[in-house]
Amino acid sequence: MKRKQETQLIFWIFLCPVLIAFLLVIVIPFFMGVFYSFTNWSSSARAGVSLQCIGLSNFTESFEDPAFLYSFLLTLVYTVLNMIAINLTAFILAIIVTSKLRLRNLYRVGFFIPNLIGGLILGYVWQFIFNNAVPAIGESLPFLSALADPANLILSKRNSALMALVVVGTWQYAGYIMMIYVAALEGVPEELHEAATIDGANTFQRIRLITIPMIAQAFTITMFLTLVQSFKQFDVNVSLTAGGPSAMFMGQPIFGTELLALNIYQTAFTANNLAEGQARAVVFFIVLIIISLAQVSANKRKEIEL
């Protein structure tokens, strides 16, 4: 056997297991899901009811559902807030741990550890903090007595509960994004900062005119990652608020902090409407693809401008 053929054989031997797993776990289920979104598929077996194609009914019913529309809009708001909070926090942390601060490597580990904890656990831990620790602080400190009032519980109101989701999401993910910024910051030549310092530039000017343009590619990556992570947020949403508290939208009661992923889950497995849940997942996929491509394209143009 010629050496070229032997190399190709080894290549396919190593590639095939991964390729087969990818097809079985990702590609085939994806196209099956798209197919089921156009049917009356249900998990319950009913006599005389067979799988039938019903066209776009699942999609039209989804867009007529106020709960779905609300969760869609809420996910967009949450994504914007989460992207800003995570990237701003991660960038500040990266600046701190790349400075000449003592024990900066220890701080890097500490900031990254929350990313290693599962979202479900984080949600329950922070639920305890918001529902028990914060009121306890209010009882101990007179000037924060308002926090001890049950009516002021953070998770009892829609807006504050949404901000709680952003806080927990930031606490979990900022350390991971920080590591990307750290890698980018360490690639910025120190001579540029020294020359700018000699010319009289202060810290803020050096960051704005040297650091940010030099790490523009890192912003493209981190904003894409935080965009996708925010859109897919599910575990923290389930464990921290479970979609509550309730609110009104288009004259109907809905879950005030139910993000899109949780809405799809509730539709499919709680309401036992798998086909409609799948249709919403298809919409979710298409919207996420469009927004992600727009974000990456916008960031790439910005890289050139910087």
Residue 47 in this model has a pLDDT that exceeds 80: no
Query: CA 213, 84, 224 angle in degrees (round to 5)?
Result: 70
Residues 6+ away with beta carbon under 8 Å from 195: none
More confident residue, 135 or 302: 135
pTM, two decimals, is: 0.90
What is the C-alpha separation between 228 and 86, in angstroms, rounded?
13
Q: At what angle do helices 104-112 and 158-185 cross, to 10 degrees?
A: 140
In the structure, what pLDDT confidence band is assigned to residue 288 with cuts at 50, 70 and 90? very high
pLDDT for 23 = 95
DSSP 39: B
**Beta-bridge partners for 249:** 252
pLDDT digits (tens, 9 = 90+) for 191-205: 888 898 898 888 889
Query: Burial level of 140, CB count in 10 A (0-12/13-18/19+)?
Result: exposed
> Both tokens of residue 161?
């509960």
pLDDT digits (tens, 9 = 90+) for 63-77: 999 999 999 999 999
DSSP 122: H
What is the C-alpha separation between 183 and 178, in angstroms, rounded?
9
> Both tokens of residue 3?
């050496």
In the structure, what pLDDT confidence band is assigned to residue 1 with cuts at 50, 70 and 90? low
